Every structure is written in structure tokens, then in C-alpha cells.
A and B are shown apart, each in its own frame.
Chain A
């Protein structure tokens, strides 16, 4: 068996095809108690600003002053001869170096228009059309798992106010939000629970469920303390960071516990960078927060990180050219990230379409060449042990002809 190359060839599908031939991991799925978490970046991440195709001859000219710098305070981190990671993400760079992160570039869902909400629907529901709200791809994947598996038996965890579309269709999903309001005193809660025990069984049970969930994810005080430490360690301290770091830490805790969740969901906002996409301004800060959240998640998962896969996806990419307000507009292909201790990482997978004028999608966007569903199918096959027919018929309906990308998981 060939050892996987650590880089891919730009402008050509050769390396990509080679990846498809790698045999599936030997470990029997299900025996390793897998964890899976998906993070949705809302707004449309500019894939070219997160993972830049420095080897593409058209890149430097088309991005001009917005090309990632090779030196200085925001110096990008080379991933291969052809790609470099945005310099605001040191924790992610570190995971990549350890072989625990990979990137799939020029990836996209089945959606080809440019509405955020329709695009997010398609990203989350895993079918080809927006405004389908019955179930999401991950919810369906969970519902296809053997009933005795931990994935099927445990509640999935979502750091969201209500069950996100991605997880709809799963049997049980618990929702949790980082410190919405300052927490009431424990004594007040205890007295209230006693009152409910005497007066309203439904409210008593709802309260007990909430307390059990908090025990799993960490109380708001514990989360706050954990976040404070993470932030101090990383030297950042702004409000928005604290919130997403808190969500990541809670998800990590909920999933690390032996009796905790096996599947998790997070979403982060702020990627709709129509303007001021400078590295030291909006996009840079947003990526830095994402990086801090990744670190907090890694830390909270502890030893379980070795059984974990995390995907980070967004509804679409952005225009290749910078617009009149130093930003980018809604586009098509973008980058997806796969992280975790069990990920066969340290590489960028891309059937690179190129950035020359004639290579762009509709003359403006990065042309999508990898169907995101092929990535997710590959992960669900190797990590959850779901078979190809289930994946092609039920998890991602009508994708029987779309082969899962193999070898993403160790």
C-alpha cells in the first residue's frame, strides 16, 4: 500500500484519485466508542482566506493586498507547497502538524445559488433543496445506527436554543446554550424542584432533565471558569470569543463524559464578510475565535479526542475577487475542515479547479469540485460504520452514485 502523500497536486485530480484507493481503516467501527461533532460556520466562510492556494499562479494577483502574508504578525502557516493556513489559527496549525487535521478544498454542497438561508438549509438537511425541514443528515445518520450503539442510545448534544436542522430526525437531542442569563441560585432551584414535586410532575421532570444536562455540560459557573482559564491561556478576552469558547467547552465536556453525548453540534456566526476582510479586522478575529473554540474543545474532550472526529463546514464560499468594500460577496466552493485524534490528517485534499478567469465558477467563484456529501459519507462510513446503501439512500438521499471519500479516518 502506498503511503499517503502529504500534499496534493494543484490543477489536477490525480492526487485526489489516489486517495480514493486507500483501503478503509482496519479498526471495526463501533468498537472504539466514536464521538462526532459538527460545527457549522454561518454566513459563508471565505475558503481562500482561511486556507489559501499559494501554489496557484493566479492567487497572488487576484487577491492582491488581501493575499495571506508570508511574514509579519499575521504570517500564514504553510500546509504544503500549494496551500497555507491563515495565521490567526495557531491551534489548528498545531493539530495539522500532528496529523490531526485535514482540509478539503473547493468543496460545496449541492446548492448553487447565493442565499444564506437556503444554502444553510441544504448544508443542514443534506438533501438537494432548501426549505425541507423534516430532518437533517446527521439526525438521519443517528437514526440509522443500531439501537444498541451508544450513538443511538445517548442524547445528541446541540449548543443551540432549539434542535438544529442538522440533528432533526435523531431520537433525542438535548439543547443547551452558553450562559444565556446569569444563573439563579442553587437554593432557589432546589426549593422550586420541591414545589414541582408536589404540584406538577411534568415541570419536576423537565427540571431534573435540565439539571442532569447541566451536570453533563458543566454548570454555567463551571463553564465560565473553564472559559476564563482558556482565554487567559490564549491571551484573548473579547465577549464574542467567550461565548463560542463556552459553547465548545460545554460540548466537549458533554461528549467526554462516559455517560454523555456521542454526537454534538455547534454553530458560529460572523463569516459573512462583505467588507473589511483584513487579517487584523473582522475575518481575522472571527477565525481567531474559531481557533480558540477548537482549542477549548480539544482540551475539554481530553483523552476522548483520540476517538473523535470534528467537521467544520459552511454554507458556501465567497467571490474570488475582493469587492469594492474590501470584502467578498456570496460565492460557491470553499474549504471544509476535518479534525480529531482519529483523523488521517496532515494533508489538504483538493481536486483543485484553479483561479484563472476561465476556471472560475460563473466567472466569479471558486469552482466546486468536491461534493461535501462525499466527505461526510466517508466519515460516517468509517467512523460510524454505516454502509454505503444506507448513506446513499437515506442519510443523503439519491446520492448512491456519489462515492464516499475513503481513508479520512485512521
Chain B
């Protein structure tokens, strides 16, 4: 089959086939993608039901205070059933609100991505969200803030600079909570001395160096990890540990100069970390690490050295301008040439199937299906995020679960969709002849639509 660049524009650089998009992309596939980069605001989610981080902080504190008071009262009078009921009610209220927040965030995010007419920008969001991965399998304040993190720390920067995103993501409460920085105490800080602390918690510092910036072979030492961890002390995010809800707590910040990668940073509390991160963001090792991962995630596990080289050059020349990085990718012939080699992750298949059919998926169903297809929403297996190898998610019974999901959409949520007409709108003349024949021979509308949604352009790019 001849190389269909309009398909590549929609799949490798988009969210999958969509009615009418093939025709729109066919005239100039590259411009179809690049002109989306002129609309950075398209990534922003504005939904009055979703809270700012300040709003969440206030609300969380209110529940914590109520619960603390109820617990204290109940402890004083353990026999008092009414007080015990009050305690349970405050816990229930907090849990209910937490569930509601998670559902609203998942719903808004899915709806935004499904409706987007800048699918490439949404792919950038998914890439960077995963670069700064956090998981709901963590303490509960992470669950309150993980949706907010994507909205406030990732989306505003996908076509901005890497340095801004790095700072926003590293100091977002969700990250500070997920990787334990909220309880990291500087040994020589006021509280550290009082409590005899001997070392800061290194988790976040290590992941920033290994996963987010320089990469595992980026040339840093254990000493750099400790110094960065020291600089990070005090950054707590304002969800636990202080009644003032301070984001930065001077009393636990390690005082003094810090030396990271041979450069010394003067001591002035909350501005020290941003200066270190700014240098990490433009470090040559960061350029290599990010360029390599970007090319591998979008193109294949073995991107051409020329493509990676071009990405590294752009990153270094522009000091980490992510719009320039994205345009370099899309402008490079080696990003278009290889045959489809990457599996579409399950969540993105759910997005693609919904975009193609216009199905209205209830959020609980979406969540259940994502779990079944092995990509539980907001729950990657580690700080390294979801795997992005070419064949990720195709193991085990993953593909069979996709078939079940596709059939559920065809049978329950897209009852009015005519498969033949949809296939025409998706592929036009460029339809694969085998798919064409399979649709013609299908025994039912449900089966035809299932086959269409399971066809390779929805699963490989």
C-alpha cells in the first residue's frame, strides 16, 4: 500500500481518524499539523466546575479541619455514638467530594480532547503529562490535585518553554506530594536541627534529574541529587503539615549555598530552586534526553539520528522552546517516512473511537474500560509514566479487551452510526481494500462498526 501521508498526519501526529479530516489533511498534510501549533490556547481547559489550585487547597483544608475536630471530640468520648457518627460523616463527605473531583477532572479532560480541533496539541499534552507522570496510587491529596496539575502546570506550557513547564510541574502540589517532597526537611533548617534530621528526602530530586531533565546517563552524581534535594526542602505545596497553607515553608528549608553540576547557587529561600531548575532545563543533556524521548514516542523506538539531531539542535538553539521543538518534528521528513510502528495507547484509542463515532460515553464506563484495557486513567505504574515502546499495551489480553470495548461502543453508545458511511467519511478513496471487503461482508451493523474501530489506523501509528 502506498504511504498515506494524510493518514500519518491524523494518526502519528493526531488522535486518529475522524470524519472529514482525511480530506482536510490530504491537500497539505504537514500544514494540517503545523498550523495547529499557532493556537497554544487551544490546550487550555476552561470549565467553571473545575477548581484552581488555591480553591482546592482551601477546600481540602476545610475538610481536614472538620475531620481533625471530629476525631478529637470522638477520642475524648469514645463511648459517644453520636460523636462517632459525626466523625464518620465528615470522612464520608470528604471522600464523596474527592470522588466527585476525580470524576469531573476525568470527564472534562476526556471531553476536551474528544472535541479538540487541534489533535496534535492534545498529543503534546499527553506526551508532557506522561513526562511528568504522577499516579493516583499515592496519598489522597494527589487525587485531589492530579487533574489540576495537568490543567495548570502542563497545558499552559506545551507550546511554551520547557523551563516554565519544569518549574510548574516540579513545584505543583501533586508532584510535591507524589514524590514525598512535602515532608522533606533540611537537616540544618530550624525544624531539622530540632528533630535531628540527617538528610533530606531524595525522591523528587532523583526523578527530576533522571526522568525529567538530564536522563539516567546525564552525568550527574549522587552529590548532585543530595544538593538538589536540599534546595527542594521547604517546597511542600500547602496541603499538609502547616496550618498556614504555605507553599514554601522557610522553617524546613535547608539554608546555605547549593552546588549542582559544578555551579553554585546563592541562598535565598524560595528563589534558589527555580534558578537551579532553569539551568537544568537548558542543559545539553536535557536537550538530548528530551529530544530522544520525543522522537521515540512519536515516531518509533529507532528514530533516525538525523531527526534526533535536528530536535537536539532546536532544543539547544532555542533554550527549550517547545513550539519550535514540535515544529522541528513535524517538519522533518524522517518523522513521516517510517511505516506505522507504534501502538496507540488504550486511552487514546478510547478518544479516537469517540471522536470517530460521536458516541457519548458515560464517565464510569470510560474509567472501567480504561482499566480493562490496562491504562487506568491517572494511574501510570511508576514515576516513569506509561511505557511508550512500540508494542506497549499489546501484550496479554489487551487487544481482546479493545475488541470488547469497540463492540460495546457499537452496540450501546453509537447505535445510529452507519459503518459504511462512517468508513467513507474517515478514509474516502484511501480505504484499505481488505477493510473495505470486511465491512461489506460483515453480518451486522454492530460487527461492521466493531471491525472499523478495530482497524489498524485506530491502533497503530
Contact = CB atoms under 8 A, between A and B. Distances in A.
A174 B397 CA distance: 8
Contact of B84 (A131, A194, A195, A324): A324
A161 B345 CA distance: 13
A180 B399 contact: no
Contact of A161 (B78, B179, B376): B376
B75 A324 contact: yes
Nearest to A213: B397
A192 interface: yes
A180 B395 contact: no
The size bracket of the interface on B is 35 or more
B397 A176 contact: yes
A32 to B, nearest CB: 28
B328 to A, nearest CB: 28
A75 B363 CA distance: 43
A203 interface: yes
B356 interface: no
Contacts, number: 144
B137 A117 contact: yes
A71 interface: no
A199 B368 CA distance: 30
Nearest to B405: A181
A202 B451 contact: no
Contacts of A324: 71, 74-75, 78, 83-84, 87
A80 interface: no
Most chain B CB within 10 A, of A162, A203, A326, is at A162
Interface in A176-209: 176-177, 180-185, 187-189, 191-192, 194-196, 198-200, 202-203, 206-207, 209
B442 interface: yes
Interface in B188-206: 203
A133 B381 contact: yes
B203 A131 contact: yes
B21 interface: no
A303 interface: no
B320 interface: no
Given A131-B179, A194-B438, A206-B394, A180 B371 contact: yes
Contact of B399 (A188, A194, A199, A210): A210
Contacts of A161: 371-376
Interface stretch (B46-54, B152-160, B236-244, B453-461): B453-461
A203 B441 CA distance: 21
B170 to A, nearest CB: 16
Nearest to A163: B381
A182 B376 contact: no
Contacts of B173: none
A28 interface: no
A202 B391 contact: yes
B438 A191 contact: yes
B390 to A, nearest CB: 8
Given A196-B456, A325-B74, A188 B451 contact: yes
A191 B438 CA distance: 7
A214 interface: yes
The size bracket of the interface on A is 35 or more
Given A133-B383, A161-B374, A192 B369 contact: no
Contacts of A195: 434-435, 438, 451, 454-455
Contacts of B456: 196, 199-200, 203
Interface in B66-82: 71, 74-75, 78
A344 interface: no
B443 interface: yes
A363 B409 CA distance: 55
A174 B396 contact: yes
Nearest to B77: A324
Nearest to A177: B372
Nearest to B384: A133
B331 interface: no
Interface string B155-193: 000000000000000000000000110000000000000
A185 B179 CA distance: 44
Contacts of A198: 434
Contacts of A203: 394, 399, 456, 459-460
B403 A188 contact: yes
Contact of B407 (A133, A188, A191, A211): A188
A206 B403 contact: no
Interface in B419-461: 432, 434-435, 438, 441-443, 447, 450-451, 454-456, 459-460
A114 to B, nearest CB: 11
A199 B400 contact: no
Nearest to B406: A184
A176 B451 CA distance: 23
A133 B382 contact: yes
A131 B393 CA distance: 22
B396 A180 contact: no
A214 B403 CA distance: 14
A369 interface: no
Given A192-B451, A200-B460, A207 B400 contact: yes
B74 A206 contact: no
Given A117-B138, A180-B369, A191-B442, A211 B400 contact: yes
B408 interface: yes
A275 interface: yes
Nearest to B73: A324
Contact of A184 (B87, B394, B450): B450
A161 B441 CA distance: 34
B107 interface: no
A279 to B, nearest CB: 19
Contacts of A117: 137-139
Interface in A120-134: 131, 133
B451 A191 contact: yes
Given A182-B404, A189-B403, A192-B403, A115 B459 contact: no
B284 interface: no
Interface string B349-387: 000000000000000000011011111100001111000
Interface of B: 71, 74-75, 78, 83-84, 87-88, 91, 137-139, 179-180, 203, 340, 343, 368-369, 371-376, 381-384, 391, 394-401, 403-408, 432, 434-435, 438, 441-443, 447, 450-451, 454-456, 459-460
Given A180-B404, A213-B396, 13 more contacts: A131-B179, A161-B372, A161-B376, A162-B381, A175-B397, A180-B401, A181-B372, A182-B404, A189-B403, A199-B435, A203-B399, A206-B399, A324-B71
Interface of A: 115, 117, 131, 133, 161-163, 165, 174-177, 180-185, 187-189, 191-192, 194-196, 198-200, 202-203, 206-207, 209-211, 213-214, 274-275, 324-326
11 contacts: A161-B372, A165-B381, A180-B401, A182-B404, A191-B438, A199-B455, A203-B394, A206-B399, A214-B400, A324-B74, A325-B84
